[in-house]
Copies of this chain bind each other. A is one copy, B any other.
Amino acid sequence: MAFDYPAPFLLLARELRRLPGIGPRSAERIALWILSNKDARPAQLAGALTAAATSIHPCAECGFFATHDLCEICLQPSRSGREMCVVELATDILPLEKTGSFRGLYHALGGRLAPLDHVGPEQLRIEPLLQRIRTGKPTEIILALSADVEGEATTNYLVEILEPLGLPLTRIAHGLPAGGGLEHADQITLQRALSGRRPVAER
């Protein structure tokens, strides 16, 4: 009979293997490193996991990560009552925020319409969005969803229910990504880049 690692080791490797991008080999390698490298800090990692999992929850307004009832973004007074940017996931907010070109509020839907996965409008934070629009009266609603089929379907659905509100409704531009050459762009991207063309003077 061949021996294996002790049970607590195997349990640790099994939990590590559940993380995204960590396969069975990496999980074993990381577990070995944690248990045999003097630079490893298993207690600190365990503490950080527990602290993050217990103290972080979705912001009651926008859905971003928050340690209090509202997140840092929603708490900033200068932001209220301006543009509102609708995204799919809380994780989409920081990339937009880091561009530095948006100073309004966000609203994460918590996903997008995906009938095959049983995600309908009721599963998304659409009712809270309408509520916030009624209360906050933003100057513009910007739809910033993914440029794939499900993102498009969700955008179309939102356009349908948001247009009756009579507020300026826009969506982020689709086209050639920065640094992307024409020869590498797919047909749909080029099609959208063409149909989204703007007069050169308009900048």
Interface residue stretch chosen among A17-25, A147-155, A180-188, A191-199: A17-25
On chain B, the residues within 8 Å of A157 by CB distance are none
Complex-state Cα separation, A26 to B37, whole angstroms = 21
> Which among B7, B43, B97, B98 is the interface contact of A67 at CB below 8 angstroms?
B7
> Which among B26, B34, B56 is the interface contact of A52 at CB below 8 angstroms?
B34
6 A-B pairs with the lowest CB-CB distances in the bound complex, closest first = A42-B53, A46-B46, A12-B52, A46-B49, A8-B52, A12-B48
Say how many copies of this protein the assembly contains. 2
On chain B, the residues within 8 Å of A90 by CB distance are 36
Q: Does A45 interact with chain B (Cβ within 8 Å)?
A: yes
B56 x A45 contact (CB < 8 A): no
Closest Cβ of chain B to A20, distance in Å, is 5
For the complex, count residues of A whose C-beta is within 8 A of B.
58
On chain B, the residues within 8 Å of A84 by CB distance are none
Q: Does A114 interact with chain B (Cβ within 8 Å)?
A: no
List residues of chain A with CB under 8 Å of any chain B CB: 2-9, 11-12, 14-16, 18-22, 26, 29-37, 39-53, 55-56, 65-67, 71-73, 89-91, 94, 97-98, 100
B50 x A3 contact (CB < 8 A): no
Known contacts A15-B41, A50-B43, A56-B35; is A5 also within 8 Å of B89 by CB? no
Complex-state Cα separation, A12 to B71, whole angstroms = 18
